[in-house]
Chains A and B, each alone.
Chain A
Amino acid sequence: MDPQDDSFDFLFKIILIGDSNVGKTCLVQSFKTSQFCERQQNTIGVDFTVRTLSIEGRRVKMQVWDTAGQERFRTITQSYYRSAHGAMIAYDISRRATFDSLPRWIHELKQFGAANVLTALIGNKRDLEAEREVQFEEACKLAEAKGLLAAVETSARDAWSVEEAFVMMARRLLMQNDTSVADDHTHAVMLRSNSHTVSLTSASSADEKKPCAC
C-alpha cells in the first residue's frame, strides 16, 4: 500500500451499478487515472478502485466498487450493496434499454442497500451525442420521482464530468457526516434538490452541461 494514501479523514464506499456495457469500469478508470481504455474487459463479479480526494482540507477516501452488469451476477453483487454509503447507477445515453432498467436497479438498491444510501444517476457516453436516445430531462425527472440526489451526464472517453460526479458524491457524503462542510455552489454539479441553485462555473464544461432542471 502506498504510504501516502494511508491517511484519510473519511472513507466512503461507493457502489457503481447499471446494465452491462454502459461503461462503469471506464468511469472508474477515468476517475482513477483520467484515462480511457477503449476495450475494457468485462467485470466478472466485482472490482474496485480507491482514490483519495481532498475536499476543504479533508482527505476523503473514495472506495469505488465496480460491479458486473450482467443480470446473473446480481446475486454476487447484491452482497456489496449493504455496506455502500453511496450508489451511482450508470446508464448509456445512446442505449434506451439501459435507461429503462434504471427503476429495476433503484428497486434492487432499496431492497439490498442501506436505507440512507445516497444515489445518483450517471448518464455515460455523453460523447455519443449523435446517437442519443435518452434526454437529460428524463433522467432528471426520474431522479426527482425516485428521490435521488442528482442526475449527471458524463463521458468517460473525454473524462467529462466524471471527476465532478465523484466529487459531488464525496461532498454530499461529507455533508451528511460533517456538518461543517457547506454545499459547494461553485462546483459544477447538478443537484436535484430545489434548495440548491445549480451554478455551472467550472470553466472546462460549463457551456456544455445542462443543469438539472428538477
Chain B
Amino acid sequence: MDSLSAASLCPSAGSQLSPDEMKLLAKLEEQNRLLETDSKSLYSVSGVLQSPTSPKTLSEDDIWGHVIKEWDDWSKRKVGQIKVLIRRGVPAHLRPVVWQLLCDAQNVSVSQHYSDLLKSSCPAETLIHRDLSRILPQHQLFQKLRDATCQEPLLNVLKAYAVLDREIGYCQGSVFIVGLLLTQMAEEEAFCVFVRLMKDFRMRELYRSSMVELGCCIYQFDSMIQEQLPELHSHFQTQGFHTSMFSSSWFLNILLSSLPITAAMRTFDIFMCEGLEIVFRVGLAVLHMKQTELIKLDIEGMMNCLQNLESWESDPDGMIEAAYQIKYNSSRMKQLRKEYTSIKTKELEDQEELNGLSSENEHLKQRLDLLEKRCSEQLVSQMKKELEKSLRNAARSQNTLKEMQTNTLQIEESSSTVPDENSVMYLQTELISCRLREAEALTGLKELKQHIKDLVKKWQWQQVHCGGQQKVSSAQNDLQVELLSARLKEALTQAALKESHHKLLQLQTEDKIHSDKLKRTEAHINSQRDHLRELTSQHQDLCSQLQQSRQQFSALQYKIQILSKSTTSFSQTTLKPSTSASLEHNDT
C-alpha cells in the first residue's frame, strides 16, 4: 500500500501542471502499470496513442475525440484501450457523450415513449415526491437540484422508470444515480442511460424486491475482506460489525452517496465501462487504506469512518490505482456466487419448511380450536338433551304423582262409601249369632229326633211286654199308647215349629236384603227422574227455540213473499210478461 501511494504521487502531480511531454510520459507509465494489473486487456494503448499524430502534440481531448468519432470500431475491437482510457478518467466535458456511448443509450428502444411514461401515474410517485423533498441538500450531487424546479427532472426520470418497469418500480438508492446522470445530461438522455444501467449493469437485480443480488454482492465482498484483510475481518466480527451495514449503500449507489464527488465520478466512469467490479475494488481499497484506523474503532466509530470518505477527495487517481492493486479474481467471484446461491437456497428451503411448519401449526391450532368448539358444542347439546330428558322425567313423575294423588282421593272416597268397621263388626256378630241359633236349632232337632227314636224303641218294647200283660191292663196300655203318640205329636210339632222359626229368620234376612235393594232402586229411580226432568226441561227449551226459529222462519217467508210480490209487480211494470214469469218461477 505504501509503495502504491508513493507511485501514485507522480502521475497525479504531473497531470495538473507539467508540460505536454511530461504529461504524456506520465500517462503512458500509468497505463502500462494499469495494463499489467488488468489481464483482460489485449491491446497496447501506447500504439494507439501514437498512431494518428505525433505523440508530442497528442492531447487527452484528441485521443477522446478520436475514440468518440470512431466509437463503433473502438467498442468492437479496442475494448482494452477504452478500459485503460476510462480508468484514467473521462474528461469532464466529454462525460455526457462517453457515458451515453458506453451504455449504447441511443439505441434504447423505450426512449420514444418517455413523454407517454410521464403522463401515466404510478403508485411510487408519492414516495418519490416525499423522498425528493428530504434529500440532503448539502450533498454535492444535488447542489444544482436544490431548487424545487430543478428537482422536477429527477422526479420525472424516477417516475418514468417506475412506470416503465413495474416490477422494480422505484428504489430509494437509485436517486443518487439519476441525480448524477442529471448533472451530466438532459432529462430524457439521463432516462435512457438509467434504463440501460438497470437492464445491462446488474442494477435491476440489485434493486429487485428480494435483493438477492445485493445479498450476493455483500457475501462476495465479505469473503474478499476475509481473504485479503483477515485482521480487519476478525475485528469486524468481534465488534459485531457486519459487512452489510456499510456496504449495502455502496453497491446500491455505486458508492455515490459515500465518496466525494470527483472520486464518485471516476468510479462511475469505470462502472459504466466494466460494471460492478469497480465497487468491489474501490470498497476493498478503502478498507485497506483505513485498516489501521478501523481496527482501533468500535462499531459506531467504524460506521462513521466508512460513511464519510471525504479523505479520498484530494486524490481520486490514487484511489483508482489502489483499487487496481486489489486482487479481484473472477472465477473466485463465480465460486462465491455459487456458494451464496446454495446457502440462500438452503435458507429458503429452511424458511419454506419453517413456513410450512408454522402454517401447519396454525392449521392445527385452528383445528384444535374447532374441535374444542365442537366438543363444547357437543357437550352443550348433550347437556341440553339430558336437561330435556330430566325435565320430561320430572313432568312424568309429576303426572304420576297427580295420578297417585287422584288415586288416593278415589281410594279415600271409596273408603268412605264402604261401611265402617262398626257396622262390619255388627254384621259379623249378627252372622255368628245367626249361626249359633242355627246350630242350636239343629241340636234341638237332633235331640228331638233322638227322643223320638227312644220313644219308638220304648213303644216297641212296651208292645212286646204288653203282649204278656195285655190282659192286665189293656185299658192302661191303650192310654199309655195314646199318651206316647200325643207326646210324639207334640215333639214333631215342636220340631216343625223350630223349623218354621228358622225359616222365618231366613225370610226376615231376605226381606232385609230386598228392602235394601228396593231402597237403592228407588234412589236410582229418583235420580233417573231428576235426569228425566232435566231432559224434559231441555226438551222444552229446544221446543221453544224451535218454535222461535219457526216463527222467525215464517216471518222470513212472509217477508220473501212480500218481496217476491213486489218484485213481480215491479217486473210486470218494466219487463215483458215472459221474463217476469220466468223470474217468478225462479223465485219460487
Contact = CB atoms under 8 A, between A and B. Distances in A.
Interface residues of B, number: 38
B215 interface: yes
B146 to A, nearest CB: 10
Interface string A44-71: 1111111000000000000100001011
Nearest to A45: B248
B249 A45 contact: yes
Interface in B109-161: 127, 130-131, 133-137, 139
Contact of B172 (A20, A38, A47, A83): A20
Contacts of A49: 300
Contact of B244 (A42, A63, A79): A79
A9 B431 CA distance: 123
Q: Helix, strand, loop or mixed for chain B's interface?
A: helix
A72 B209 contact: yes
Nearest to B258: A44
Contacts of B212: 75
Contact of A70 (B135, B137, B171, B244): B171
B173 interface: yes
B268 interface: no
A72 B204 CA distance: 13
Contacts of A68: 172
Given A42-B134, A44-B173, A44-B248, A50 B214 contact: no
B207 interface: yes
Given A20-B172, A21-B130, A72-B171, A41 B248 contact: no
Contacts of B136: 39-41
A106 to B, nearest CB: 16
Interface string B164-180: 00000001110100000
Interface bin, chain A: 20 to 34
B248 A39 contact: no
A76 B214 contact: yes
B550 to A, nearest CB: 88
Given A1-B300, A46-B245, A47-B303, A38 B209 contact: no
B134 A40 contact: yes
B135 A39 contact: yes
Contact of A21 (B127, B211, B215): B127
B127 A44 contact: no
B142 to A, nearest CB: 10
A76 B244 contact: yes
A33 to B, nearest CB: 14
Nearest to A70: B172
Interface in A1-31: 1, 20-21
A76 B248 contact: yes
B242 A21 contact: no
Interface of A: 1, 20-21, 38-42, 44-50, 63, 68, 70-73, 75-76, 79, 83
Ordered nearest first, which 4 A-B pairs have the shortest CB separation? A45-B248, A44-B249, A41-B136, A39-B134
Interface of B: 127, 130-131, 133-137, 139, 171-173, 175, 207-212, 214-215, 240, 242, 244-245, 248-249, 252-253, 257, 296-301, 303, 307
18 contacts: A1-B300, A1-B301, A20-B131, A21-B134, A41-B135, A41-B257, A42-B131, A42-B172, A44-B172, A46-B244, A48-B300, A68-B172, A72-B208, A72-B210, A72-B211, A75-B214, A76-B244, A83-B240
